[in-house]
């Protein structure tokens, strides 16, 4: 009992194979010359120590193993150094016959190379596992996965050959698939996402009763769904709409797990691993769904592209935040910025340029100018600046709270904020301000953080996830009516090219447009 308490602890959202725990116990008995109990008795013992422990079966069909869900090794436990556990950390979803491919797969996470160089006396498996465990302190491993909504079939009759039981089976299977995806990401084993998607959407050797390739619960019977029925169900509009809503919930949860605080410093290796993961997502999904109709693939890829775009934006925002900290903590730079800012002719910016374009209330603009200078003069920390920016958003949008015009007002605020800040930067440029570089960095950060704040306010106001609000604006057919008011709908219907709106995913469009790199910044 004491050995269990010394080495394990309860934790939401994580799991350990039952066989690993028993092997740890056998090793402990061998080292201390104790007679071990059998596996069944050991299982009862664990449940008596860690109350409420659940059992799940995870892995692909035919290769699944029972796991204890809600328990993990303590970070300081010596068991973390065992070879068995380091392999488990990276191979928990991997069939036995694929273990020899593990080293090649590590490279995909973007962490193996730096990890293997850190200590020449450790194996690559041990280094990667140790780094994964170190990185987990920067992510939210306690995140609770929200429930999925039920599909709204309305009064539309199911197509011939389908029953409500088929829909319920799909609900269970897709929920389990999403839980497995979340579990793998929470353990930072990004390369297994490709295998999970392949096993669900395009299994290589499906059994005669159809593919599942999903984690299943010990308490629930495993359902099956033939692939042709899965494809046809996905073409059914209410099911496709339901699946998109589930994807929004899943990917928003993954964003909140991987980047719980966009301003908190994180290791560069973790940031690069997340960016490499985002870069691969779209290709992985398109390969896995190569046999599905284009409309289904387009809908699925649209959401995953929004997820990838969000990861890139948030990691870039985090990178900017770390660079800005150095500026905000430098007293001489702050004094120079304040001196240069006091030379800016704000009256000219407001009266001769911005007032005609933005039509903002002059009193509000002057107050923001004074507050900005005061906050700068006080040499505020990055967290204090973040609080100030949040208050600005609250002040500007408070008159639109609860109104259908809230999303439009929020977008207009972003445009006006960007216009004013560009006018100030223009004035500093013309004056050859010594602190221009510092202002440029700060301006980039504050614009990005404003975008982050506004997308979350709009999501809160409309009842959507931030990914649904920001990521899917390119696809007019997928927008929730709460995100558009009448004026928006009228403008979009006349100004947006439908083929452009329903064309390639957002990520592809973003990649085709020129942009600056973080190194340039």
Per-residue model confidence as pLDDT tens digits over 194-236: 989 988 997 654 444 444 433 333 333 345 678 888 888 898 8
- Lowest-confidence range among 218-222, 290-294, 420-424? 218-222
What is d(CA 236, CA 294) in angstroms, rounded to the nearest whole number?
13
In this model, does residue 266 exceed pLDDT 60?
yes
Q: Of 449, 330, 328, whose CA–CA distance to 382 is shortest?
A: 328
Lowest mean pLDDT among 41-55, 165-179, 286-300, 482-496: 482-496
- The whole-number pLDDT of residue 165 equals 86
Q: Is 77 left (phi over 0), alpha (psi -120 to 50) or beta?
A: beta
pLDDT at 356: 66
Please state, in angstroms and rounded to a whole number, the distance separating the CA atoms of residues 162 and 382.
56
pLDDT of residue 273: 93
CB 425 within 8 A of CB 392: no
What share of the chain in percent tops pLDDT 90? Answer: 35
Rounded CA gap, 196 and 304, in Å?
15
Residue 15, pLDDT above cutoff 90: no
- What pLDDT was estimated at residue 174? 93
Closest CA to 201 of 241, 163, 234: 234
| The pLDDT of residue 469 is above 60 | yes
Collapse the DSSP code of 517 into the 3-class scheme (helix H, G, I; strand E, B; otherwise coil) and give the result: coil
Contact assessment for residue 188 and residue 135, using Cβ atoms and an 8 Å cutoff: yes
For the CA atoms of 446, 447, 453, 454, the dihedral, rounded to the nearest 10 degrees, stands at 150
- The residue ranking higher by pLDDT, 107 or 251, is 251
pLDDT at residue 520 in the model: 45
What are the CA-CA distances from residue 226 to residues 58, 223, 375 (Å)? 20, 10, 62
Lowest mean pLDDT among 101-110, 256-265, 299-308: 101-110
Q: What's residue 81's pLDDT?
A: 66
Q: How far is CA 273 from CA 133, 220, 520, in A?
A: 14, 35, 20
pLDDT of 61-117, one tens digit each? 555 677 888 888 887 888 876 644 444 343 343 333 333 333 333 444 455 445 444
Q: pLDDT at residue 363 above 80?
A: no
Predicted local distance difference test score (pLDDT) of residue 111: 52
Q: Provide the pLDDT confidence category of residue 297 given band limits of 50, 70 and 90.
A: very high
Q: Using an 8 Å Cβ cutoff, are 462 and 469 in contact?
A: yes
Q: What does the pLDDT read at residue 501?
A: 39
pLDDT of residue 155: 63
Q: Is 221 exposed, middle or buried (0-12, 13-18, 19+ CB in 10 A)?
A: exposed
Spatial distance between the Cα atoms of 212 and 333, rounded to a whole number of angstroms: 59
Q: What pLDDT was estimated at residue 496?
A: 41
What are the φ and ψ backbone dihedral angles of 184, each rounded to 5 degrees? -65, -45
d(CA 283, CA 305): 10
Estimate the share of the chain in helix, then strand, then coil, as percent rounded to the nearest 5.
65, 5, 30
pLDDT of residue 156: 60
Enter the pTM of the model. Answer: 0.67
The CA distance from 505 to 502, in Å, is: 8
Share above pLDDT 70 across residues of the chain, in percent, rounded to a whole number: 72
Please report the pLDDT score of residue 368 as a whole number. 87
User: Quick one: pLDDT at residue 97?
Assistant: 36
Most trustworthy range by pLDDT among 52-56, 110-114, 239-243: 239-243
DSSP string, 448-503: HHHHHHHHHHHHHHHT--HIIIIITTT-GGG--GGG--HHHHHHHHHHS-HHHHTS
Q: What is the pLDDT of residue 442?
A: 92
The residue ranking higher by pLDDT, 442 or 65, is 442
Q: What is the pLDDT of residue 358?
A: 72
pLDDT at residue 261, as a whole number: 93
Highest mean pLDDT of the ranges 158-167, 324-333, 356-365: 324-333
Predicted confidence at residue 286, as pLDDT, reads 94
**Most confident residue range from 160-164, 187-191, 325-329, 334-338:** 334-338
Q: What is the dihedral of CA 214, 216, 220, 222, to 10 degrees?
A: 40
Average pLDDT over residues 312-335: 92
């Amino acid at each position: 009992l004491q050995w269990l308490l010394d080495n394990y602890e309860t934790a939401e959202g994580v799991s350990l194979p039952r066989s690993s725990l028993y092997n740890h116990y056998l090793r402990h008995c061998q080292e201390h010359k104790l007679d071990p109990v059998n596996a069944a008795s050991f299982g009862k013992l664990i449940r008596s120590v860690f109350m409420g422990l659940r059992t799940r079966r995870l892995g692909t069909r035919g290769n699944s193993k029972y796991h204890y869900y809600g328990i993990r090794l303590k970070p300081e436990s010596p068991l973390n150094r065992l070879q068995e556990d380091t392999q488990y950390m990276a191979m928990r979803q991997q069939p036995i016959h694929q273990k020899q491919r593990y080293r090649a797969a590590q490279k995909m996470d973007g962490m193996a190379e730096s990890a293997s160089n850190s200590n020449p006396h450790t194996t690559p498996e041990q280094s990667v596992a140790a780094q994964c465990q170190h990185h987990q302190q920067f992510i939210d491993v306690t995140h609770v996965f929200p429930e999925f909504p039920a599909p709204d079939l309305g009064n539309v009759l199911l197509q011939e050959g389908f029953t409500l039981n088929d829909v319920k089976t799909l609900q269970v299977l897709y929920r389990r698939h999403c839980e497995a995806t979340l579990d793998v990401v929470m353990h930072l084993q990004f390369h297994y996402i490709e295998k999970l998607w392949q096993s669900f959407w395009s299994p290589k050797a499906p059994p005669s009763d159809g593919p599942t390739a999903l984690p299943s619960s010990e308490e629930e019977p495993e359902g099956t769904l033939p692939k042709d029925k899965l494809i046809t169900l996905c073409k059914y509009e209410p099911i496709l709409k339901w699946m998109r809503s589930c994807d929004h919930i899943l990917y928003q949860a993954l964003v909140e797990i991987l980047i719980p605080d966009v301003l908190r410093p994180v290791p560069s290796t973790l940031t690069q691993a997340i960016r490499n993961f985002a870069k691969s997502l779209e290709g992985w999904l398109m390969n896995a769904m190569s046999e599905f109709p284009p409309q289904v693939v387009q809908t699925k890829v649209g959401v995953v592209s929004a997820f990838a775009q969000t990861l890139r934006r948030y990691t870039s925002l985090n990178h900017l935040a770390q660079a800005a900290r150095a500026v905000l903590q430098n007293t001489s730079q702050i004094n120079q910025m304040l001196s240069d800012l006091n030379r800016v002719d704000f009256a000219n910016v407001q009266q001769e340029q911005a007032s005609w374009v933005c039509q903002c209330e002059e009193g509000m603009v002057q107050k923001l100018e004074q507050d900005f200078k005061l906050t700068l003069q006080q040499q505020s920390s990055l967290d204090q600046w973040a609080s100030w920016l949040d208050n600005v958003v609250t002040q500007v949008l408070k008159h639109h709270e609860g109104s259908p015009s809230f999303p439009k007002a929020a977008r207009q605020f972003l445009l006006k904020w960007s216009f004013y800040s560009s006018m100030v930067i223009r004035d500093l440029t013309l004056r050859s301000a010594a602190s221009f570089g510092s202002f440029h960095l700060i301006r980039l950060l504050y614009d990005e953080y404003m975008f982050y704040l506004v997308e979350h306010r709009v999501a809160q106001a409309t009842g959507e996830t931030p990914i649904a609000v920001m990521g899917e604006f390119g696809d007019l057919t997928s927008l929730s009516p709460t995100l558009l008011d009448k004026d928006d709908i009228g403008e979009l219907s006349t100004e947006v090219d439908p083929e452009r709106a329903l064309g390639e995913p957002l990520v592809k469009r973003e990649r085709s447009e020129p942009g600056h790199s973080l190194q340039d910044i």
